[in-house]
Amino acid sequence: MSKLIKPESYHSLLDLKQTELGIKKVKDFFQTTLSSELRLRRVTAPLFVLRGLGMNDDLSGVERPVSFPIKDMGDAVAEVVHSLAKWKRVTLAEYEIAPGYGIITDMNAIRADEEMDNLHSLYVDQWDWERVIQPEHRTVEYLKKIVTRIYSAILRTEFYICETYPQLQPFLPEEIHFIHAEELLQRYPNMTGKERETAICKEYGAVFIIGIGGKLSNGEEHDMRAPDYDDYSTVAENGLAGLNGDLLIWYPILDRAIELSSMGIRVDKEALLRQLKLSGKEDRKELYFHKRLLEGSLPLSIGGGIGQSRLCMILLNKAHIGETQSSIWPVEMRKECAEAGMTLI
């Protein structure tokens, strides 16, 4: 397993029982803290949605959703969700959530095409959240304000867990650094996107990269995004496009950058039409979700996902995501992990 990172002399600071208790403490404390910080109410979410409604998230556009026919519905095809980016916005409308308030839910998914390593698993669990905003909130400054609140909730959770388990040491910086993907490209012009993330995270410890999905000056995207949820094409006052981004931290145990959250201000009608045209996917205008957005029956919103197992992994000082979630792993990887002190659940 060439992609497996095996930290030298690694051993878990928590045994299996402490780890299981720690996972629950992280999840309970962070969800309560974030819900209070952003004024989110918990809702129940689906594990799968019907194909053909435009409700599933197609991520970068190449991942295959796990699907199955429904016998009692004439073999209509259901797809296991990749994320709830679009479903949440419809739910905001159905629950008639007021501006300044939102929803949060547990999202569980299967990503069969994932390449497994220390951070990636077939099983994905995250907090999916969405908040109603006003037209004047569709700015980079508002995006930064929400990101800062989320990072504050992460810091408070880290303090709580380190107080609970004194053998764990805090490592996150007090503040998060903001940089646009274009500025990052100009700073490190000879690096790939992932190499640029590594460099900037190693320097600042916690970074939010703005403008993920739109083309940069080199003709490439920093990373791929579906065209119908995050707004990555609206040009801000600084002349740079993008009202979305990724939150990453530098993780000393693995000596690498880790993405904890992808989020952003969502497309309005104009941004949706623009991004569908740019991506050559204008046929989506006929799908249920897209029709509702274009007719104006969905609220303006900001939202994203925050990895549950990843947050537990870093706050409990683990070296492999399999130490904080139960999943399927290649036999050889399990063997290598065991030899390296990583006990996979």
Q: What is the span of the domain harbouring residue 100?
A: 16-339
Of 167, 168, 146, whose CA–CA distance to 158 is shortest? 168
Q: Round to whole Å and give the CA distance between 259 and 248.
A: 4
- Asked if residue 8 belongs to a domain, the reply is no
**pLDDT tens string 90-140:** 999 999 999 999 999 999 988 888 889 999 999 999 999 999 999 999 999
End-to-end CA distance of the chain: 19
Taking residues 287-297, report their average pLDDT.
95
Number of domains present in the structure of the chain: 1
What pTM does this model have? 0.93
Of 203, 209, 238, whose CA–CA distance to 225 is shortest? 209
Residue 327's CATH number: 3.30.930.10
Has residue 220 got a pLDDT over 70?
A: yes
- Asked if residue 34 belongs to a domain, the reply is yes
Has residue 59 got a pLDDT over 90?
A: no
CA distances from 134 to 60, 264, 300 (A): 28, 14, 7
pLDDT band per the 50, 70, 90 thresholds, residue 63: confident
- Asked if residue 9 belongs to a domain, the reply is no
- Tell me the catalytic residues: 57, 111, 126, 246, 259, 262
- Asked if residue 345 belongs to a domain, the reply is no
Q: Round to whole Å and give the CA distance between 113 and 286.
A: 28
What is the Cβ-side half-sphere exposure of residue 303, based on CA atoms within 13 angstroms? 29
24: left (phi over 0), alpha (psi -120 to 50) or beta: alpha
- Asked if residue 133 belongs to a domain, the reply is yes
Token code pair at residue 328: 């399927």
- Asked if residue 276 belongs to a domain, the reply is yes
Token code pair at residue 258: 């880790």
**What does the pLDDT read at residue 1?**
44
What amino acid is encoded at 313 in this protein? Answer: M
CA distances from 261 to 9, 110, 247 (A): 29, 18, 5
Q: Round to whole Å and give the CA distance between 315 and 175.
A: 17
**pLDDT tens string 247-287:** 999 999 999 999 999 999 999 999 999 999 999 999 999 99
Question: CB-based burial of residue 230 (10 Å sphere; 0-12 exposed, 13-18 middle, 19+ buried)?
Answer: buried
Taking residues 298-308, report their average pLDDT.
97
- Asked if residue 153 belongs to a domain, the reply is yes
Angle in degrees, CA 166, 169, 171, rounded to 5: 155
Question: CB-based burial of residue 240 (10 Å sphere; 0-12 exposed, 13-18 middle, 19+ buried)?
Answer: middle
- Asked if residue 211 belongs to a domain, the reply is yes
The fraction of the chain above a pLDDT of 90, given in percent, is 87
Has residue 74 got a pLDDT over 60?
A: yes
